[in-house]
Amino acid sequence: MSSNALPVPQRASSGSAKPDISPIDYAKLLIKEGRRRIVTLAAIFAAISILALLVGLFVLARNYTASVTILAQDSDIIQPLLEGRAVSTGVADRAGMARQIIYGRKVLSEIVGVGGWDRDGSMSPVAKDRLMEDIRYRAVVTSPRPDLVTITYRDTDPERTYRVTDAFGAQFISEALAAKERESREAYEFIDKQVQAYHRKLTDAENNLQEYRSRNADAQPGSATDVSSRIAALRTQVEQTRMSLLEQESRENSIASQLSGESAVTSVQTRETLYRTQLIELQAELDRLMLTYTERHPDVMRVRHQMEDIQRLIEQERNRPATARSGTGSEDSQLNPLYQELRSQLSQSRREVAATRSRMGVAESLLNTELDRSRRIAASESVLAELTRDYEVNREIYQDLLRRRENARVSMGLDQENRGLTLRVQDPAIMPLRPTGLRLMHIALAGLLAGIAIPLGLLWLLVRFDPRIRSPQLVETRSRYPLLASIPAYPSPRERRRQLMRMAVAASMVLAVVLLYGATYVYKSSLG
């Protein structure tokens, strides 16, 4: 049986694509098919390699990268000295702040001028906007540490890469410091406006409070306390006066009841009775004198003469007729002294009662006046409390804003003198000498590998999925018939010449690719 490819027998299993041959025979089949298609495989290899080389030469651009590292320091000797008096306007997210600054339209417009894209100013707004988008895409901002910001930029021109990167760092520092100074100045201006506004509010509140107090005399400080003490004193006075009035009225009633039981005259006596009473008294005096003196003593004699005179008066009174005695007022009436005393006390008590009633009326009138004043004060306390509360609140806020304004003034001075957050270039940008990323060597090497791998892969697919029988062992395996003999194929001289010609063409293709790669490498080495 010939070893040339034969059609698949009907009984062969078409569902299995796996060849039932040894790896050595499989490798021989690959070599055999490769020799038959050597020109095609070499052409594929040459095409892929040359295409990769052309891509590396003309399509893939050489990118240069430069970076600048900026150190942000927000702690120095001034911060602990001014702690509590000044606030540093540092930003914790350095990378975010850097992105906001360098990705802004203002900075990108400056970068377009620095990079030399629009030197003559003829670039259209659309093209300029696209260019800024491309610059934003090629600029990368990272933060290796919280106090470091790294700005990396890549471009095809090394000099422009250096200029743009250095300009990014300078713009970031200037814009960050300007933003800090602007932030502190705006904070100071805002607080100053609030101070002025609350000063007007405080003045208005004070004027309203003073005007209300001037219009309401009872709305003075301490009026409620004075009125309360005055009301308590008047109530005590009224109670004491009422108790005194009750005592005086009771005393008046008692004196009146006593006076009603006494008569104004104690007794009615005649002259004879009076003479007898005098005679008895003179007799008693005479008896007392006789105990001491004799009959010849002047006092004894005087008393005896008085007694004789009274005896004569008694005799005369007896001898007078009764009508004469009554007509001449021979009777004497004597007033009752207790009655006179009670009348005097009653009159005094009535005067005291009248004075006490008058005093109690005045006290009650004053008490009613103070109660009315207390009600007016209570009615005005709500308005006064609201006005006072507004004044106190505005005063507290105003004083707090004054302190904050001074703190903001100190902070603004620190930022103006760059004493707060300090930004300096830690690692400056340098001129890139070698490109970064994928280079021509990488693309060329990938092209050679792809030029080798793709033809081999196609050859393997051909042998793997071609349904024709290419090995004698497959005949017995798939047809279940014994193989009696295998006749090898011998090429003719013409076929040998053709085979050699194909080998020479393939070798020339491979050699041409190698020479082209070598010449390109020499050319690039001489340039770079």
Q: Which of 88, 93, 65, 90 lies closest to 78, judged by CA?
A: 88
Q: Of the candidates 381, 399, 427, which is a domain's last residue?
A: 427
Mean pLDDT of the chain: 76
Q: What's the confidence (pLDDT) of residue 148? A: 83
Q: Is residue 451 part of a domain?
A: yes
Report pLDDT for 228: 81
Query: How far apart are alpha carbons 423 and 426 in whole angstroms?
Result: 9
On whether the pTM is more than 0.85, the answer is: no
In the chain, the number of structural domains is 3
E-assigned strand segments in 263-358: 265-270, 331-335
In our burial notation (b when 16+ CB lie closer than 10 A, e otherwise), range 149-173 reads bbbbbbbeebebbbbbbbbbbbbbb
pLDDT band for 85, please (50, 70, 90 cuts): very low
- Determine what percent of the chain is predicted with pLDDT higher than 90: 0
pLDDT, position 69: 86
In a domain? residue 17: no
pLDDT recorded at residue 11: 41
Let me know whether 71 and 128 are in one domain. yes
For position 10, what pLDDT does the model report? 42
Question: Does residue 103 share a domain with residue 47?
Answer: no
Task: Give the residue from 334, 350, 376 where a domain finishes.
Answer: 334
| pLDDT exceeds cutoff 70 at 26 | yes
Buried/exposed 227-237: b ≥16 CB within 10 Å, e otherwise: beebbeebeeb
- Determine the Cα–Cα distance for residues 367 and 373; give it in Å rounded to an integer: 10
Residue type, position 111, single letter:
I
Whether 54 and 112 share a structural domain: no
Averaged over 356-367, what is the pLDDT? 85
What pLDDT, in 10s, does the model give residues 281-298? 888 888 888 888 888 888
Q: Give yes or no for residue 160 having a pLDDT over 70.
A: yes
Domain presence at residue 134: yes
Output the pLDDT for position 78: 40
pLDDT digits (tens, 9 = 90+) for 44-78: 888 888 888 787 776 655 678 888 888 876 544 34
Which CATH number do you get for residue 161?
A: 3.30.70.1130
Same domain, 44 and 76: no
Let me know whether 32 and 84 are in one domain.
no
- Mean pLDDT, residues 207-231 taken together: 73
Q: Which domain holds residue 510?
A: 23-60+439-527
Say whether 44 sits in a helix, a strand or coil.
Answer: helix
Q: Where are the beta strands (DSSP E) in 22-161?
A: 64-73, 139-142, 148-155
Last residue of a domain, one of 334, 365, 389: 334
- The amino acid that residue 102 corresponds to is I
